[in-house]
């Protein structure tokens, strides 16, 4: 339906207009993810600014948008309640240090090893997550309830109905129609920006009443403060309760509505401050466990989004530089009292589909967001935007993000690849990105090893009392059994040659297999020659001693891929 592969150069006008469009979408997302993490909305907004501005300025992928994300926010859930904001900020700072080290040690290049089925599963899974998250905009009457299964206080709500439902659906259809059809008339102005402005003004001058960004922010802020207060109250009571009384007290605490909840102003987002924590071994373990998880999720999502945008724009980003940029951004975010973040696939897709290609698009989006935060008149304009308009924008992003062609591949690609796509998509939706990618890579590696293990063979020639085995195929842990079965030491003549020119020795298991075969010929007092074996393998073959002759004159040198491109 939508062709997002746009071959165009950086354009100042497009970058600025695209940045303005993206900034509108950053506001509700940052607020929503702050709520998921259980922190003040301002913490999410400042995170979107710091992370977005720094990564756009010095990161490795121009045109990619970064900010507070749901993938990282989910991991933070409950952490703030148990340990407090200061511990969260310390973890975000340490997360940034870990990401910088990953970039300095050039670990970002390994994202290039991710198989295409894992990439497709990641994209489809994130599209589903984004789509599913938009349903929350169709709910109202938000209130807190007690969840006995998890023993936590959560937010419950009900679906909108009546005139409000019809108005919301109408706005969604109008927004998506403008975004889809306007480019057929003109591409001078991003259609997403036109849709946001046009429909916002139309709603303001009509009697239609729908939830706006202001309503959303106010509701989320109030719920966040109330939930944090009640969770803290419940945790204090829980330790003194009998097991049979926990659920009843939890319900009482969650339903209580006679308390006035005041916003805690002891730590304001956007102000530099060193986290106020105690430096003990116990605290260090708590902070490190969250930091390593945040760093892993942040880098995986950022680098996979980078690869996706590389494909869509037919250009190439620098993965190691992006690791360093993300790390510096998270360090700064932690010191300035915000929750940190990583690349945002939804906003990145909005940016490139609106024509944003250069660093200016990401920088301008962050600066516009900064203006919205600190200048009340601009913030008031943002508050006027109906949430349904931004939901329509995100639904367009979902349609453009999901790899629809992957649904037609089920009978055209190996079943194992299609299974990997489905598994990675499902795990991304049900758990998180890091787990999904890890599972996908493991399955891909096992499938690859199984297929390659069946492909080693040998052409056998015998002339003048010398038997030659000309190997073909990879030699690694999966194929060593087949490799050993090729040879017949007891039936072979006194002189044997194994030719490695058409094969490749990959790991220690392969070296051990070569040593094992060499030992067998040694025991039978037969002379074995290994030809065209790499120098690395020669150094590790020790047990054959003088009975093994290695022809090194034409030996190849194996090289590992360099980091020049990253």
The pTM of this model reads 0.69
Parallel/antiparallel/unpaired status of strands 495-499 and 527-531? parallel
Q: By the 8 A CB rule, do 253 and 60 touch?
A: no
Question: Other CB atoms closer than 10 Å to residue 219's CB: what's the count?
Answer: 17
Question: Do 146 and 253 contact (CB within 8 A), yes or no?
Answer: yes
Residues 6+ apart with CB under 8 A from 519: 543, 544
pLDDT, position 341:
92
Q: Token digits for 455?
A: 């492909």
Q: What are the boundaries of each domain within the chain?
A: 12-403, 416-452, 454-551
**What pLDDT does residue 259 have?**
59
* Mean pLDDT, contiguous 10-residue spans, the chain (566 residues): 48 86 80 69 88 94 89 76 83 95 87 79 81 78 83 83 88 90 79 85 87 79 78 81 81 74 60 83 88 89 86 84 95 93 86 86 93 80 82 80 78 84 88 81 86 82 90 87 90 90 82 86 88 69 51 49 50
DSSP notation for 278-329: ---HHHHHHHHHHHHHHHHHHHHHHHHHHHHHHHHHT----HHHHHHHHHHH
Contacts of 528 (CB under 8 A, 6+ apart): 496, 497, 498, 517, 518, 521, 522, 544, 547, 548, 549
CA-based angle 549:550:553, to the nearest 5? 135
- E-only strand ranges, 375-505: 457-463, 466-475, 495-499, 503-505
Tokens encoding 468 = 């030659």
Residue with tokens 């997403």: 192
Instruction: Give CATH superfamily name and number for 454-551.
Output: STAS domain (3.30.750.24)
Residue 487: half-sphere exposure toward Cβ, Cα within 13 Å: 25
Nearest alpha-carbon partner for 24 in 335, 360, 413, 381? 381
In sequence order, the 6+-apart residues with CB closer than 8 A to the CB of 47 are 30, 34, 67, 68, 333, 338, 339, 340, 341
Assign 3-state DSSP to the chain and report helix, strand, coil percentages, each to 5. 65, 10, 25
**Whole-number Å distance between alpha carbons of 397 and 469:** 57
Cα-Cα-Cα-Cα dihedral sign, residues 387, 389, 392, 394: negative
The number of angstroms, rounded, from the C-alpha of 232 to the middle of its chain's C-alpha atoms is 31
Of the candidates 405, 191, 433, 203, which has an alpha carbon nearest to the alpha carbon of residue 304?
A: 433
What is the b/e burial string over 246-261, where b = at least 16 CB atoms within 10 angstroms of the residue's CB? beebbeebbeeeeeee
């Amino acid at each position: 339906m939508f062709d997002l592969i746009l071959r165009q150069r950086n354009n100042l006008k497009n970058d600025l207009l695209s940045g303005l469009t993206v900034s509108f979408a950053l506001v509700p997302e940052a607020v929503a993810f702050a709520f998921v993490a259980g922190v003040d909305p301002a913490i999410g907004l400042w995170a979107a600014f710091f992370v977005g501005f720094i990564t756009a300025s010095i990161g490795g992928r121009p045109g990619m948008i970064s900010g507070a994300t749901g993938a990282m926010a989910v991991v933070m859930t409950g952490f703030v309640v148990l340990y407090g904001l200061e511990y969260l900020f310390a973890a975000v700072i340490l997360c940034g240090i870990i990401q910088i080290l990953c970039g300095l040690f050039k670990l970002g290049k390994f994202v290039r090893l991710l198989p295409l089925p894992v990439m497709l599963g990641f994209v489809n899974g994130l599209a589903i997550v984004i789509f599913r998250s938009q349903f929350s905009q169709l709910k109202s009457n938000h209130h807190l309830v007690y969840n006995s299964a998890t023993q936590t206080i959560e937010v419950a709500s009900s679906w909108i109905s009546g005139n409000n439902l019809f108005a919301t659906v109408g706005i969604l259809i109008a927004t998506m129609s403008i975004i889809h059809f306007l480019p057929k008339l003109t591409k001078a102005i991003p259609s997403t920006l036109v849709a946001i402005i046009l429909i916002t003004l139309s709603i303001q001058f009509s009697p239609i009443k729908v939830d706006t960004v202001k309503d959303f922010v106010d509701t989320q802020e109030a719920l966040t403060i109330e939930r944090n207060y009640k969770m803290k109250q419940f945790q204090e009571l829980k330790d003194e309760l009998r097991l049979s009384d926990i659920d009843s007290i939890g319900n009482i605490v969650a339903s209580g509505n006679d308390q006035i909840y005041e916003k805690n102003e002891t730590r304001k987002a956007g102000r530099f401050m060193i986290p106020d924590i105690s430096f003990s071994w116990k605290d260090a373990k708590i902070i490190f466990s969250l930091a390593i998880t945040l760093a892993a999720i942040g880098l995986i999502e950022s680098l996979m989004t980078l690869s996706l945008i590389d494909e869509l724009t037919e250009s190439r980003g620098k993965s190691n530089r992006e690791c360093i940029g993300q790390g510096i951004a998270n360090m700064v975010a932690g010191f300035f009292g915000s929750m940190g973040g990583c690349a945002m696939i939804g906003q990145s897709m909005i940016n490139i589909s609106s024509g944003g290609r250069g660093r200016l698009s990401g920088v301008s989006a962050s600066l516009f967001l900064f203006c919205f935060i600190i200048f009340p008149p601009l913030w008031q304009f943002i508050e006027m935007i109906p949430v349904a308009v931004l939901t329509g924008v995100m639904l367009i992003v979902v349609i453009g993000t999901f790899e629809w062609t992957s649904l037609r591949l089920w009978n055209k690609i190996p079943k194992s690849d299609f299974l990997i796509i489905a598994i990675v998509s499902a795990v991304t939706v049900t758990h998180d990105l890091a787990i999904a990618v890890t599972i996908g890579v493991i399955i891909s590696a096992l499938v690859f090893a199984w297929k390659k293990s069946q492909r080693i063979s040998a052409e056998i020639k015998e002339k003048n009392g010398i038997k030659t085995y000309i190997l073909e195929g990879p030699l690694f842990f999966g194929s060593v059994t087949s490799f050993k079965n090729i040879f017949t030491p007891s039936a072979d003549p006194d002189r044997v040659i194994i030719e490695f020119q058409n094969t490749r020795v990959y790991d220690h298991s392969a070296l051990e297999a070569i040593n094992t075969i060499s030992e067998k010929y040694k025991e039978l007092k037969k002379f074995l020659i290994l030809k065209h074996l790499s120098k690395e393998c020669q150094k590790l073959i020790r047990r054959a001693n003088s009975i093994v002759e290695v022809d090194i004159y034409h030996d190849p040198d194996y090289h590992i891929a360099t980091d020049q491109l990253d």
